[in-house]
Chain A
Amino acid sequence: MSRKVVSVWTSIPFWRRSAGWVTGFAAVLLIWLTFDSMSQITMGTDADLKNGITKRVPAPTVINYKITYEMDTRRGHEVPKIGEKEKFFGRDDWSEEEASALLRLGKLASQAKNCMNCHTLLGNGAYYAPDLTKAWLDPAWENYIPMTGSTTKEEAMSKFLQNPSMYPSHERMMPNLGITEREAIGLVAFLKHMSSIDTNGFPRNFGRMSIDGVTGAIHGK
């Protein structure tokens, strides 16, 4: 730069200062928003569930309840609804400790078995296999109950996870990852819990297939 600066727009000190201020401002704003987001995505408690208080990420004991994914007209998209009690592997009284341990095991299993490098979770991951965000609610499991000789959805899921290539749904199969029965139960708990997370309507129109094949899914006409 010539010693005489003719315009502020070509002045290095001006841009250096701008870089400092802009970066600092953006970083401070991000940190502030992070505090707020963290308080909103911390898991709720069992008491919240019992009192009907909605949390973006509910307590692990959400596995004791029926979960559905329903249109919320006020918010303009679908949200998870936690309903009445529902048995999960034969029980609807999983304690806070038991449910937390199960969820922890399932989350660990999802990482140890490298699920994310085929599937997407909350839409992130690889694109080789279906998204797992609302997998617990997927209508496909209905077919797996008779196929695996099970009586409940969670049992069917658990059997599938332990021996996936025995029950293919498509020529692109899931490999056998050596998932034990205990790990499979944990994974199912993890998937059920994930389906109760409020994802701002993602995936949209989940499970609402168009009937005539022309008009598009129910909320997307």
Chain B
Amino acid sequence: MVNNLQFESKRLAIKYFIVAAILFGAQLLMGLIAAIQFLVPGFLFEVFDFNVARMVHINALVVWMLYAMIGSVYYLLPDETEIETVGIKLGNLAFYILTAAVTVVVLVYILVQVGPASEFTIWFINEGREYIEAPRWADIGIVVVVLVFVFNLFATAIKGKQTGIVTVLMADVLALAGLYLAGMFFTDNISVDQYWWWWVIHLWVEATWEVFVGCLAAYGLIKIIGARREIVEMWLWIEVTMLFGSGILGLGHHYFWIGTPEYWWEIGALFSALEPVPLVAMFVHVIYDWGKETGLKEGSEEKTMNNSPAFAWFVTNAFGNFLGAGVWGFFHTLPQVNIYTHGTQFTSAHGHLAFFGAYATILIGMFYLGVQGKNGIKVLKATFASKMAISLITIGVLGMTVSLTIAGYGQVLVERAQMGATWQAYFVSQSLPWFVQGLGWRLAMGVVTFIGFVFLVKDLLTTSKSLRHIH
């Protein structure tokens, strides 16, 4: 296939995007297995249990997003700095090492699953800590690979042009890499364990990843609709101020019930209540630029829009981030509510819409920028498959969220409010018609999402072929 990319950095980005898309598919398949197990508990019992399906489901999610994020940086770096990325050979090597390591880790998860209660398991099978189950050898490998990436970014930024977007990215990626270290030790004190575990999970997802999304939105708006850099970068700094201002101490909302002191109630409530504010800013920013700052094509009144599928995903991000992370996050973040809703299907509902709305959407948008660049398409128009992909995936995830919210509502009322959160209370709530039907709809909507994913892959692979004659 012809490759129209002039920069090695962008070619490397495409490799990252391809692995990310494959892992996205794996995530959805594992999600479907787990969703079936909720309804048919005997499905694959003692062969491929829920804990394994769920672990691969959430790990694939995290890893595909990290892949797509690294890919996005390699993709935008030549555009921003106007030079080839420094140390790209090393970057390529790191890509293959990382991919080999991820493959081994996934195979061990699936084939070995659990180990004896010893340090051996922690080093070589899994660490059993939600989201960061990767065994310790892989942790160390990941840190090394990420350091190569951070080095490439910094070396390139120092040598080339330093825009606001690159400056924010440099700070953000450094923080992201550093935080991973907070989750790499063993302690028998579960309160201490959970305390540091949230430094990785929360400070990634609700601080550094959100800032990262701000950078991608900024880059995308300039690239796709020709928004003016000054306006975009001003918004980016506003968003960074508000995202870090609310997100860092918003960490407190995870410290209500893990053994930590009560003052986290107030701190967590206040700062996590502020967390939706920057998401409104990001929302306004995208819509504002779309309406007001869209560049005009030279010599005509026609507005520039050179990649409509990517832009559709960017706009979905503005909505999805606000709804999923902002609204769904806020409605159970206050301790008075959270003491009943914590660790129920409410959490799951919020998780699904937030990860999709805030991250999946914009990263898929980046895939489309990659497809456009790789095939040298001047104006990438939406095809039938692109429209089906975005509609089905969005409807699917929204549907899953609503179903899980309803299931969670029944669960909270019966298990937590009525019956006192015991083992029996738990299983009574799991048998409620509201709960079971909610989980049924979740599975149905999961299937819709998966069909949307099939359309997405088809579109990403073929959209270039149907359009090649245009340029």
B42-50, B60-68, B146-154 - interface stretch: B42-50
Cβ of A176 and Cβ of B234 under 8 Å apart? no
Cβ of A117 and Cβ of B423 under 8 Å apart? no
Output the least CB separation between B310 and chain A (Å): 26
Cβ of B421 and Cβ of A12 under 8 Å apart? no
- State the CA gap A15–B255 with chains docked (Å): 30
Cβ of B188 and Cβ of A103 under 8 Å apart? yes
- Chain A 55-94, CB within 8 Å of chain B: the 1/0 string? 0110010000000000000000000000000000000000
**Looking at chain B, what size class is its interface with the partner chain?**
35 or more
- State the CA gap A81–B425 with chains docked (Å): 23
Interface residues contributed by chain A, number (CB under 8 Å): 95
Cβ of A15 and Cβ of B238 under 8 Å apart? yes
B54 interface neighbour in A18, A122, A128, Cβ under 8 Å: A128
- State the CA gap A103–B193 with chains docked (Å): 14
B210 at the interface (CB under 8 A from A): no
Q: Chain A contacts of B267 at CB under 8 A?
A: 33
Cβ of B191 and Cβ of A197 under 8 Å apart? yes
Q: Chain A contacts of B260 at CB under 8 A?
A: 37, 40-41, 56, 200
A170 interface neighbour in B262, B417, B430, Cβ under 8 Å: B430
A130 interface neighbour in B52, B237, B261, B427, Cβ under 8 Å: B427
Cβ of A110 and Cβ of B128 under 8 Å apart? yes
Cβ of B423 and Cβ of A1 under 8 Å apart? no
B423 interface neighbour in A22, A106, A135, Cβ under 8 Å: A135
Among A10, A125, A205, A218, the most chain B Cβ lie within 10 Å of the Cβ of A205
B420 interface neighbour in A43, A122, A205, Cβ under 8 Å: A205
Output the least CB separation between B351 and chain A (Å): 10
Complex interface residues of chain A between 193 and 208 (CB less than 8 A to chain B): 194, 197-208
Q: Chain B contacts of A129 at CB under 8 A?
A: 426
Q: Chain B contacts of A108 at CB under 8 A?
A: 117-119, 121-122, 186, 188
Q: Chain A contacts of B119 at CB under 8 A?
A: 108
Cβ of B128 and Cβ of A197 under 8 Å apart? no
Cβ of A209 and Cβ of B419 under 8 Å apart? yes
- State the CA gap A58–B133 with chains docked (Å): 27
Interface of B is mostly: helix
Output the least CB separation between B233 and chain A (Å): 6
Cβ of A30 and Cβ of B248 under 8 Å apart? yes
B416 at the interface (CB under 8 A from A): yes
Q: Chain B contacts of A207 at CB under 8 A?
A: 420-422
A131 at the interface (CB under 8 A from B): yes
A146 at the interface (CB under 8 A from B): no
B19-27, B108-116, B314-322, B379-387 - interface stretch: B108-116
B306 at the interface (CB under 8 A from A): no
Cβ of A204 and Cβ of B340 under 8 Å apart? yes
Cβ of B342 and Cβ of A202 under 8 Å apart? yes
Residue pairs across A and B with Cβ atoms less than 8 A apart, 15 shown, are: A1-B230, A26-B245, A27-B248, A107-B186, A111-B122, A113-B117, A114-B128, A115-B128, A117-B128, A165-B45, A175-B49, A175-B51, A204-B416, A205-B421, A220-B417
Give A residues with C-beta under 8 Å from B: 1, 10-12, 15-16, 18-19, 22-23, 26-27, 29-30, 33-34, 36-38, 40-43, 56-57, 60, 100, 103-118, 120-131, 133-135, 138-140, 165, 169-173, 175-178, 180, 183, 186, 190, 194, 197-210, 213, 216-218, 220
Sort A-B residue pairs by CB-CB distance and give the 8 closest, nearest first: A111-B128, A109-B117, A15-B237, A202-B257, A203-B421, A117-B51, A123-B343, A26-B248
